[in-house]
Amino acid sequence: MSLHPHLASVLATERADCFAAQPRLTQDAMLLELANGVEITVRYAAQDAYSVRWRCPDGKELGIDTAPTHPGLATTPNHLHLAEGLVVADPLTRTGDTAEDNLLRIIDALMQDPLLASECA
């Protein structure tokens, strides 16, 4: 069962003012457009298996995922792909938290700073 319809409902209730359009559900993802122009693709396979990618209005792309490909990071398996191509510890999500809490935390951070400069300082 997909978490995406449930997450779309939570976002509509908890953060409706953050969006330029209603969340769109596809076969395997949820597409979001924030009021500040950030476009987000959310893929949740399970509470602890996710990929959240976003494109900033200036074209820079970042993302957080839980692929077990960076074992040396403090937040393994979750990690952040920066626009410059670096992979660093994920400052926002925790695999033990709910999908709802993680996604709301991401939305809040991206509304403030889509490049997460203050989170990664």
Report the candidate in 82, 67, 76, 120 with the shortest Cα–Cα distance to residue 96.
Answer: 76
Q: What is the pLDDT along the chain (121 residues), one digit of tens a residue?
A: 589 999 999 999 999 999 999 999 999 999 999 999 999 999 999 989 999 999 999 999 999 999 999 999 999 999 999 999 999 999 999 989 999 999 999 999 999 999 998 777 5
Place of tokens 């040396």: 72
β-strand 30-33 against 61-65: which pairing, if any? unpaired
The 3-state secondary structure of 65-113 reads: ECCCCCCCCCCCCCEEECCCCCEEECCCCCCCCCHHHHHHHHHHHHHHC
β-bridge partners, 63: 53, 81
